[in-house]
Amino acid sequence: MRGKNRKPIASCLKLPQFTTMNVIDGQAGLVLYSSLIFYSLTINNILNIIVLLIFAGISIQMLVGEGGILQNAREAKDKTGEADAREELNMYLMEYSGNKSLGDTTDLKTFLESKGYTVEVRDDGKLEVEKDGYKFIVDPDTLSVTLKEKGKPEIKVDVGEATEEEKITITVTVTNEDELGNIDSVTLTTPNGDILQGTVTEGVATFEVDENGTYTVEVKATTDGTQKSTKQDVKVDKITAKIDTTLDYGTIDVIWVDENNNIQDKPESPSEHLYNNTMKKVTWTWNEDTKKWTENDTEPTKDEDWYSYNALDDTSKDDNLTSHWANAKNMEDESYFVWIPRYAYRITYYENEQSYIDGAEPLAYFDGNGLVDKKGARITNLFGYSIENGNKMDEKIQTVTKDGKSYIVHPAFYGPGSEDLGGGFGTNEKGIAGIWVAKYEMSQEGSYDSGKTWDFRETTYRGGGSILTTKAGGKYPYPIRAVSKPATEEKEIKCWRWSNIANSYTNSYYYDRNKESHLIKNSEWGAVAYLTHSQYGRNGYEITINNSTFYPGMAGDYVSAGNDSDVHHFYNTTKGGLASTTGNIYGVYDMSGGAYEYTAIYAKDYKGDYFTGSKYYLDENGNNFANEAQNNPNGSSTKYATAYNGINSDDKLTVRYKEGKVGDAVKEVMTSTETAWFSDTRTAIYLGTPFNARGGMRASGEKRWNFQWSGY
Q: What is the pLDDT of residues 515-543, one digit of tens each?
A: 999 999 999 999 999 999 999 998 888 78
The pLDDT confidence band at residue 20, using thresholds 50, 70 and 90, is very low
pLDDT for residue 686: 59
The contacts of residue 160 (CB under 8 Å, 6+ apart) are 168, 169, 170, 171
Residue-wise DSSP of 547-601: -SSS-TT-B-SSTT--S-TTS-B-TTSHHHHTTBTTSSTTS-B-SSBSS-EEESE
In this structure, the dihedral spanned by the alpha carbons of residues 108, 111, 116 and 122, taken in order and rounded to 10 degrees, is: 20
What's 177's DSSP letter? Answer: G
CB 164 within 8 A of CB 242: no
Which one, of 424, 433, 426, 570, lies nearest residue 492 by Cα?
570
- Look at residue 391 in the predicted model and tell me its pLDDT: 78
Give the span between the Cα atoms of 27 and 220, in whole angstroms. 32
Lowest-confidence segment of 13-27, 375-389, 631-645 by average pLDDT = 13-27
89's CB contacts (< 8 A; 6+ apart) are 117, 129, 131, 136, 138, 145
Residue 423 has pLDDT above 70, yes or no: yes
Give the span between the Cα atoms of 155 and 305, in whole angstroms: 59
Once rounded to an integer, what is the mean pLDDT over residues 200-225? 91
Q: Identify the DSSP state of 413.
A: G
- 150 vs 262, residue with greater confidence: 262
Range with the lowest mean pLDDT among 388-392, 393-397, 400-404, 469-473? 388-392
pLDDT of 329 strictly over 90: yes
What is the phi/psi pair of residue 177, to 5°? -55, -35
pLDDT per residue over 239-253, tens digit each?
Answer: 888 888 778 889 999
Q: How far is the C-alpha of 422 from the C-alpha of 601, rounded, in Å? A: 9
Q: What is the mean pLDDT of residues 204-215?
A: 91
pLDDT at 3: 46
Distance CA 94, CA 239 (A): 41
The pLDDT assigned to 397 comes to: 95
The pLDDT assigned to 406 comes to: 93
The dihedral through the CA atoms of 397, 401, 406, 411 has a sign that is: negative
How far, rounded to the nearest angstrom, does the alpha carbon of residue 124 sit from its chain's CA centroid? Answer: 35
Q: What is the percent of the chain where pLDDT is above 90?
A: 42
DSSP string, 422-461: T---SSSTT--SEEEEESS--EEEE-SSTTSS-EE----T
Q: Tell me, what DSSP letter sits at residue 421?
A: G
**pLDDT tens for residues 558-577?**
777 766 666 789 999 999 99
In the structure, what pLDDT confidence band is assigned to residue 41 with cuts at 50, 70 and 90?
very low
The 10 Å CB-count burial string (b at 16+, else e) for 412-445 is bbbbbebbbbbbbbbeeebbbbbbbbbbbbbbbb
Between the ranges 191-200, 387-396, 609-618, where is the mean pLDDT highest?
Answer: 191-200
Q: What is the pLDDT of residues 281-303, one digit of tens each?
A: 999 999 999 999 999 999 999 99
**Structure confidence by residue, pLDDT tens digits, 348-391:** 999 888 888 888 999 999 998 889 998 888 888 888 788 877 77
Query: Would you say residue 553 has pLDDT above 50?
Result: yes
For residue range 431-440, list pLDDT tens digits in order: 999 999 999 9
> What one-character DSSP code corresponds to residue 678?
G
Strand partners, 214: 235
Neighbours of 289 (CB within 10 A): 5
CA–CA distance, 683 with 660 (Å, rounded to integer): 11
Report the distance separating Cα 393 and Cα 373, nearest Å: 15
CA 502 to chain centre: 31
Q: Quick check: 12 pLDDT over 80?
A: no
234-248: burial string, b at 16+ Cβ within 10 Å, e else: eebbebbbebeebbb
Residues 552-556, mean pLDDT to the nearest whole number: 89
Torsion of CA 349, 644, 629, 444, to 10 degrees: -30
The pLDDT of 424-430, averaged and rounded, is 91
Minimum mean pLDDT range among 45-59, 167-181, 632-646: 45-59
Mean pLDDT (the chain) is 80
Average pLDDT over residues 205-232: 90
Phi, psi values for residue 81, rounded to 5°: -65, -40
Per-residue confidence (pLDDT) for residue 336, from 0 to 100: 98
Q: What is the largest CA-CA distance in the chain?
A: 114
Q: Does position 613 have pLDDT exceeding 60, yes or no?
A: no
- Please state, for a pLDDT cut of 70, what percent of the chain lies above it: 76
Q: Which helix (H) or strand (E) holds 373?
A: strand 370-373
Q: Is the pLDDT of residue 75 over 50?
A: no
Q: What single DSSP character describes residue 411?
A: G
Closest Cα partner for 527 from 631, 604, 424, 423? Answer: 423
Query: What pLDDT, on the 0 to 100 scale, is given for residue 562?
Result: 67
Decide if 468 contacts 460 (C-beta within 8 A): no
Q: How many CA atoms lie within 13 A of 305 on its CB side?
A: 8
In whole angstroms, give the CA distance from residue 628 to residue 500: 14
Beta bridge partners of 444: 482
- Residue 5: per-residue pLDDT: 40
